[in-house]
Protein backbone atom coordinates (compact mmCIF):
# COMPACT_ATOMS: atom_id res chain seq x y z
CA UNK A 1 0.00 0.00 0.00
CA UNK A 2 2.79 2.43 0.92
CA UNK A 3 4.71 1.66 -2.26
CA UNK A 4 1.55 2.07 -4.35
CA UNK A 5 0.79 5.39 -2.67
CA UNK A 6 4.30 6.67 -3.32
CA UNK A 7 4.04 5.62 -6.96
CA UNK A 8 0.70 7.40 -7.30
CA UNK A 9 2.01 10.65 -5.80
CA UNK A 10 5.05 10.48 -8.07
CA UNK A 11 2.78 10.01 -11.09
CA UNK A 12 0.64 12.98 -9.99
CA UNK A 13 3.77 15.10 -9.57
CA UNK A 14 4.94 14.12 -13.07
CA UNK A 15 1.56 15.09 -14.53
CA UNK A 16 1.64 18.43 -12.68
CA UNK A 17 5.15 19.21 -13.93
CA UNK A 18 4.17 18.16 -17.45
CA UNK A 19 1.12 20.45 -17.31
CA UNK A 20 2.88 23.28 -15.48
CA UNK A 21 2.04 26.03 -18.05
CA UNK A 22 -1.67 25.22 -17.80
CA UNK A 23 -1.55 25.17 -13.99
CA UNK A 24 0.33 28.47 -13.86
CA UNK A 25 -2.19 29.99 -16.26
CA UNK A 26 -5.05 28.71 -14.09
CA UNK A 27 -3.47 30.15 -10.93
CA UNK A 28 -2.90 33.47 -12.73
CA UNK A 29 -6.54 33.38 -13.81
CA UNK A 30 -7.64 33.13 -10.19
| R_g over Cα of the chain | 12
pLDDT tens sequence across 1-30: 577 777 888 777 777 777 788 888 888 887
pLDDT at residue 1, rounded to an integer: 56
Q: How many CB atoms lie within 10 A of CB 23?
A: 13
Can you give the pTM of this predicted structure?
0.37
Distance CA 11, CA 15 (A): 6
Distance CA 9, CA 5 (A): 6
The DSSP string of 1-30 is -HHHHHHHHHHHHHHHHHTHHHHHHHHHH-
Amino acid sequence: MHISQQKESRHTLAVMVDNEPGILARIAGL
